[in-house]
């Protein structure tokens, strides 16, 4: 995963959170997940398929998401859509709480400049 101007160390652990959050409002296929994350983060997070699909497979193996093939609305081959499982929704909430706590704890140091 690449980020515009962000240190690579800051990105560790962020990918799973972004993927789970992108699926919170309904199923998406791979390219739409990438576009959703780019759009919602103002292009700050930009990752390629080589990063996306291994991460999606890992989340699926953990039971956090489920994939199903659906016909393409563009008339091409079927697409694999990913959606959150109930366990994935719980994990997303846990990670969201952790992200908020982390950001809150860092705030005094971020505003010091």
For residues 5 and 37, the answer to whether their CB atoms sit within 8 Å is: no
Mean pLDDT of 69-96: 93
What is residue 69's predicted lDDT score, i.e. its pLDDT?
A: 94
Task: Kindly indicate the confidence band of residue 111, based on its pLDDT and cuts at 50, 70 and 90.
Answer: confident
3-state class of 4 per DSSP?
A: coil
- List pLDDT tens digits, range 36-46: 999 999 998 88
What is residue 110's predicted lDDT score, i.e. its pLDDT?
A: 87
Q: Tell me the domains of the chain and their CATH numbers.
A: 11-110 (1.10.10.10)
**What global pTM score does this model have?**
0.85
- Hey, which bits of the chain come out as E strands? 2-3, 28-29, 45-46, 65-70, 79-84
For residues 85 and 65, the answer to whether their CB atoms sit within 8 Å is: yes
């Amino acid at each position: 995963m690449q980020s515009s101007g962000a240190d690579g160390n800051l990105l560790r652990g962020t990918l799973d959170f972004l993927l789970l959050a992108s699926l919170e409002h309904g199923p998406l296929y791979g390219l739409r997940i990438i576009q959703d994350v780019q759009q919602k983060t103002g292009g700050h997070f930009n990752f390629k398929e080589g990063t996306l699909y291994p991460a999606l497979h890992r989340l699926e193996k953990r039971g956090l998401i489920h994939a199903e093939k659906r016909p393409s609305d563009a008339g091409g081959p079927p697409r694999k859509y990913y959606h959150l499982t109930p366990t994935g929704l719980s994990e997303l909430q846990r990670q969201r709480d952790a992200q908020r706590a982390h950001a809150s704890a860092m705030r005094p140091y971020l505003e010091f400049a």
